[in-house]
Structure formats: structure tokens, C-alpha cells
Amino acid sequence: MQQIFLEKIAYNRAVCDFCGACVAVCPHDSIELFEADLCITASCTLCKNCVYVCPVRALEIIDEG
Amino acid sequence: MKDNYDIVVVGAGPAGSTTARFAAATGASVVLLEKDRDVGVPVRCAEGVSEAGLTSVLDTIDERWIDNRVSDVMFHSPSGKIVELRFNQVGYILNRKLFDYDLAHMAIKAGAELYTKAYVYDLLRDDDRIVGIKFTHLGKKYKVKAKIVIGADGVESRVGRWAGIKTRTKMRDMETCAQYTACDVDLSSKHLHLYFSSRVAPEGYLWVFPKGEGRANVGLGISGEAAKKKSPFACLNEFMAERFPHASLLNCFAGGVPCDQTLATIVRDGLMLVGDAAHQVNPITGGGIAPALIAGKIAGQVAGQALNQGNVSAKAFQDYPRRWHKAEGRNHQIFYKLKNYIYKLTDEELDSIADAGLKVPKEKRSMITLFRAALIKKPSLILDAVKVFA
Ligand SMILES: Cc1cc2nc3c(=O)[nH]c(=O)nc-3n(C[C@H](O)[C@H](O)[C@H](O)COP(=O)(O)OP(=O)(O)OC[C@H]3O[C@@H](n4cnc5c(N)ncnc54)[C@H](O)[C@@H]3O)c2cc1C
């Protein structure tokens, strides 16, 4: 289990409800969801599916400007 | 815990517990692993189910599971027209916490073992063969060997992915949801309310399910595509402010429902998928409790049979997809077509369906009345609608 937090996605644990919708739409199985924690692994391609599907908007792409 | 079982079931939701129960009843040794600390918690569900949905698998219905009984549904159109329909059977609003607990307990009584806080993170393989799973429990890693692995891991459906099955839900099939349990709401306890409108719930619907004593599950689901524009919580908060500005909120949660047809592959050598993990939710309603029970019963029985015959190949499991498709899967294909059609209807079209429904006296109104009006431009689907709603 690789646990690499991509610096390009901000994860807001205080907002996350741990529902798993992001995991289900991830094309590369890049999200690990534990009981009350989530991490994004190296295979992420920044497709943003997780960002959009998240009911509470707990994930955000960090804009590099 | 032993390090070797006939069957390991991943996930103790309705699908996993029911599979474990029916498999254990055939004499198989079964372990059920759940990542959360508690079964049935948190509840991510509007808790609606029909009586037949429960009795198709459960011999008795425990009164403790039932918070409320409903008899009618009110469809709300975009401009506020209300079409009332009488159900042809009793509808229940469950207490899912107690319900899920009892399903897990039934599995245990049938002989299964259950462990919570057990997070399954990979399959165990011998060359290419699936021979068990790896999991963590209280910070330590473990391996469990099993002849059959059952993926009942809900919407995430990762067990299937690890086995090479394409379980990912497409964005337009994922209903992303938000729900409050509100109290102090002034509502009849006998009526469900469903709102269809591009403003309230684009590519989805909003529900109000009364739980009795002034409480109601108020929630909505919208497609992953629609959610690109606005989040489900933003949609729900607008509705609450308009419709229930004074309600107090008992809880609030998010969730995702795979509103798809059943996955093309739900068995592999040594592996089966059940419930949300197999996309066995009714794609038009998003109801997955009854399908999880039905699929779980079949999968558990077939797994037991296969073990008794000493053959756990995908071929030996074929009875599971075959029986599932006959029972529900075939209908889900039709529901899926209907869903894709009605999600494309404009607000004007939805209003005219309501008008058509209101022209028919309530005693004669049915889902078919509404679908006949909805499918006026697509008559080829009317026969399909009759098949699933008659
Ligand atoms: C907002 C919302 C409203 C709904 N309303 C209704 C409704 O009114 N009526 C209805 O019939 N259905 C409804 N549903 C759908 C219904 O809740 C699901 O279809 C049903 O719970 C499916 O059961 P399941 O056992 O397949 O999955 P789940 O109940 O999701 O159970 C899966 C279990 O697996 C566990 N798990 C996941 N990954 C792992 C892992 N790696 N290791 C160990 N354990 C794991 C999870 O923690 C979970 O407990 C609703 C869903 C949502 C989100």
C-alpha cells in the first residue's frame, strides 16, 4: 500500500464523510479509504472525477496558477 | 480468528451478511470482515424498501426494523404539480442500523465469524489464483486463506478491481447523494415525496421519506456529471431553506449509489461480487437493499454448493449470475434504459407528464400511466415499462 499524497490534490479531512463515492469513480484505483482517513496514491492522473463526484467537495485540485 | 476458511466475505452490509448467512448454512466455514468499527453505522441510506423486497429473502419481518409504513407516493413536478399514486404494496421506512445489525447477527447464528475494524487491502494469490485476502486490524497486517473470496464491499468495489474486473462506476451512472434526517417537519407519515426537476435535483431526484414522529429522511441524488456544476449538498441546502426552513437536523451524510446495470462479470475463479459492489442496485430508484438480499442469498447458496462439489471455478459459479439475472438483473437492464431516458426529459416535459397523470383519476393511476406519458416520443420503451411495472 503506497501512501503518497499528491501535492496537486488537497484533501479536507474535516469535511470528508468517508462515503466512498470518489473511490468508485476513480479510473486507476488510486484512492484508499480507511474508516476515517483517505489517501491518494501515485497512480493518480488528476482526472478530477473524485473532485466532482464528492458530495461534500472535500477534494480540490490545487491550482498551480 | 483462524488463518484459513472456506469463504471470506469482504464487507458486512446487507449483501455481505446475507451471503455469509446462506453460505454458512450450507456448512461452509465463513469469515466476514468489515472495515468500520461497527456494522450498520454510519447509515448511508434513505431506508425505503417494499414489503416484498424483504419477504423475498427474510422469513419474518421484525417490527424493530420498521420506523414507519407508507402507502402513497406524491410526485412533484418542476412547476409544483403534485401527482399522487397509491402503492400496490406496503412500503417500509427502515431503521437500517438495527436492520443491518440483525442481518449480521443472522450470519453469525448460521455459523459465520465476524470481525470489525478489519480493512481488506489486497487479494492473496498463488501464481494467478486467488487464494484469500490481506487485511489490517488494529495496526497489524494479516493474511487469511480462503477457497472463495466474496467482494461485498459496497460502492467502492475494490475487491473486484483487484481481481481484474472493471467495477468502476461511470460518472453519469454514479448518483452522488446528500441526506439529512430532519425533525419537527410537518408531514403526513403515510406519504413519500419525490421531486423531479432540473433545478432541485438534476439527473436524479429528491426524496422525502417520513420516519414517523415528525422525522423524515430528506435527501437527493444527482449524477456525477450534473455534480460538476453544483454539489448535492448545495442543492439539498437550497431545498431545505425553501421547504423546511425551521427543521432541526438529527443527522447529515453523504453517499454514492452506482445506478447502473449489473456488471458484465460478477464471478471469477474463486471470487464473487454481490450487492453495490456488483452494481446490483435498481438503477432507476437507487434502491439496493432488496437486491443485496436477493443476490446475497443466491451467491451464498451457490458458493456452498460449489464447495461441496469441490469446484470453485467461475464455471462452477454460473448459477449465481444466471439466477440473479432471472430474478432481478434482466429487469435492471430495462430500468437502466428508462432511467437514461427520463434523466434527459426537460422540465416542460416533466410538467406535461404530471398533467397527463392528473387527468387520470387517482384510483386508476399507476406507474404505467406516468410512463405512458413520459415515453410518448419513445413508444418502443412503453412495452418495457409495462414489463417492469405491471
Ligand atoms: C443516500 C443514499 C440513499 C439510499 N437510499 C436507499 C433506499 O431508500 N432504499 C434502498 O433500498 N437502498 C437505498 N440506498 C442504497 C443502499 O444503501 C445500498 O444499495 C445497500 O446498502 C447495498 O448493500 P451492500 O451490502 O452491497 O453495501 P453496503 O451497505 O455499502 O456495505 C458495504 C460494506 O463493506 C465495507 N467495506 C468496504 N470496503 C471494505 C474493505 N476494503 N474492507 C472491509 N470492509 C469494507 C463497508 O464499510 C460497508 O460496511 C441508498 C444509498 C445512498 C447512498
Task: State if residue B174 touches ligand 1 by the CB under 6 angstroms criterion.
Answer: no
Whether residue A43 lies inside any domain: the answer is yes
Task: State if residue B31 touches ligand 1 by the CB under 6 angstroms criterion.
Answer: no
**Do B175 and B75 share a structural domain?**
yes
The dihedrals phi and psi of B169, each to the nearest 5 degrees, come to -90, 130
Per-residue pLDDT tens over the stretch B315-353? 999 999 999 999 999 999 999 999 999 999 999 999 999
Query: Separation of B155 CA from ligand 1 center, angstroms?
Result: 7
A63 confidence band (pLDDT: 50, 70, 90):
confident
At B362 the pLDDT is 92
Segment (H or E) for A18: none
At A64 the pLDDT is 62
Mean pLDDT, rounded, of chain A = 86
Please count the residue pairs, one from chain A and one from chain B, whose beta carbons lie less than 8 angstroms apart. Answer: 83
Task: State if residue B156 touches ligand 1 by the CB under 6 angstroms criterion.
Answer: yes
Task: Return d(Cα B354, Cα B154) in angstroms, integer.
Answer: 35
> Using CA of residue B175, residue B176, residue B181, residue B182, what is the dihedral sign?
negative
> Per this entry, what is the length of chain A?
65
| CATH at B124 | 3.50.50.60
pLDDT at B13 over 50: yes
Cβ B168 vs Cβ B160: under 8 Å: no
Residue B138, number of CB atoms within 10 A of its CB: 6
Q: By the CB < 8 Å criterion, does B156 face chain A?
A: yes
Query: Separation of B257 CA from ligand 1 center, angstroms?
Result: 8
Whether residue A42 lies inside any domain: the answer is yes
Cβ B112 vs Cβ B28: under 8 Å: no
> Per this entry, what is the length of chain B?
390
> Using CA of residue B343, residue B71, residue B387, residue B370, what is the dihedral sign?
negative
The whole domain housing A33 covers 7-63
Whether residue A52 lies inside any domain: the answer is yes
A62 confidence band (pLDDT: 50, 70, 90):
confident
Residues of A in contact with B231 (CB under 8 A): 54-57
Cβ B256 vs Cβ A55: under 8 Å: yes
**Do B108 and B18 share a structural domain?**
yes
**Do B241 and B268 share a structural domain?**
no
Task: State if residue B222 touches ligand 1 by the CB under 6 angstroms criterion.
Answer: no
Per-residue pLDDT tens over the stretch B243-258? 999 999 999 999 999 9
Per-residue pLDDT tens over the stretch B43-98? 999 999 999 999 999 999 999 999 999 999 999 999 999 999 999 899 999 999 99
Residues of B in contact with A26 (CB under 8 A): 168
Task: State if residue B259 touches ligand 1 by the CB under 6 angstroms criterion.
Answer: no
Per-residue pLDDT tens over the stretch B263-297? 999 999 999 999 999 999 999 999 999 999 999 99
> Quick one: average pLDDT of B367-376?
92
- Rounded to a whole number, what is the distance in Å from the CA of B223 to chain A's nearest CA? 8
**Do B101 and B237 share a structural domain?**
no
Per-residue pLDDT tens over the stretch B196-208? 999 999 999 999 9
**Do B15 and B153 share a structural domain?**
yes
pLDDT at B164 over 50: yes
DSSP A62: P
Whether residue B49 lies inside any domain: the answer is no
At B144 the pLDDT is 98
Task: State if residue B276 touches ligand 1 by the CB under 6 angstroms criterion.
Answer: yes
Whether residue B322 lies inside any domain: the answer is no
Cβ B130 vs Cβ B270: under 8 Å: yes
- How many distinct structural domains can be found in chain B? 3
pLDDT at B99 over 50: yes
Give the best residue of A15, A53, A54, A57 to mutate against chain B (max B CB count within 10 A). A53
Whether residue B229 lies inside any domain: the answer is yes
Give the best residue of A3, A22, A26, A35 to mutate against chain B (max B CB count within 10 A). A35
Q: Which residue of B has its CA nearest to A19?
A: B255
Whether residue A16 lies inside any domain: the answer is yes
pLDDT at A7 over 80: no
pLDDT at B148 over 80: yes
pLDDT > 90: what percent of chain B? 97
Q: By the CB < 8 Å criterion, does B119 face chain A?
A: yes
At A65 the pLDDT is 52
Whether residue B57 lies inside any domain: the answer is no
At A5 the pLDDT is 54
Task: Return d(Cα B256, Cα A33) in angstroms, integer.
Answer: 14
What is the value of ipTM here, to two decimals? 0.94
**Do B118 and B18 share a structural domain?**
yes
The verdict on whether omega for the bond into residue B245 sits within 30 degrees of 0, i.e. cis, is no
Whether residue B349 lies inside any domain: the answer is yes
- How many distinct structural domains can be found in chain A? 1
**Do B200 and B231 share a structural domain?**
yes
**Do B218 and B72 share a structural domain?**
yes
Residues of B in contact with A27 (CB under 8 A): 168
Mean pLDDT, rounded, of chain B = 96
**Do B364 and B296 share a structural domain?**
no
**Do B147 and B114 share a structural domain?**
yes
Q: By the CB < 8 Å criterion, does B121 face chain A?
A: yes
Whether residue A30 lies inside any domain: the answer is yes
pLDDT at A57 over 50: yes
| CATH at A43 | 3.30.70.20
Query: Separation of B332 CA from ligand 1 center, angstroms?
Result: 18
The whole domain housing B376 covers 339-389
**Do B251 and B196 share a structural domain?**
yes
At A1 the pLDDT is 42
- For chain B, what is the HEC assignment? CCCEEEEEEECCCHHHHHHHHHHHCCCCCEEEECCCCCCCCCCCCCCEEEHHHHHCCCCCCCHHHEEEEEEEEEEECCCCCEEEEEEEEEEEEECHHHHHHHHHHHHHHCCCEEECCEEEEEEEEECCEEEEEEEEECCEEEEEEEEEEEECCHHHCHHHHHCCCCCCCCCCCEEEEEEEEEECCCCCCCEEEEECCCCCCCCCEEEEEEEECCEEEEEEEEECCHHHCCCHHHHHHHHHHHHCCCCEEEEEEEEEEECCCCCCCCEECCEEECHHHHCCCCCCCCCCHHHHHHHHHHHHHHHHHHHHCCCCCCHHHCHHHHHHHHHHHHHHHHHHHHHHHHCCCCHHHHHHHHHHHHHCCHHHCCHHHHHHHHCCCCHHHHHHHHHHHC
Task: Return d(Cα B266, Cα B273) in angstroms, integer.
Answer: 5
The dihedrals phi and psi of B124, each to the nearest 5 degrees, come to -100, 130
Whether residue A1 lies inside any domain: the answer is no
**Do B253 and B357 share a structural domain?**
no
Whether residue A37 lies inside any domain: the answer is yes
At B389 the pLDDT is 87
Task: Return d(Cα B112, Cα B10) in angstroms, integer.
Answer: 13
Give the best residue of A1, A15, A25 to mutate against chain B (max B CB count within 10 A). A25
Contact B171 A49 (CB under 8 A): yes
A2 confidence band (pLDDT: 50, 70, 90):
very low
Task: Return d(Cα A57, Cα B11) in angstroms, integer.
Answer: 26
Q: Does the global pTM surpass 0.95?
A: yes
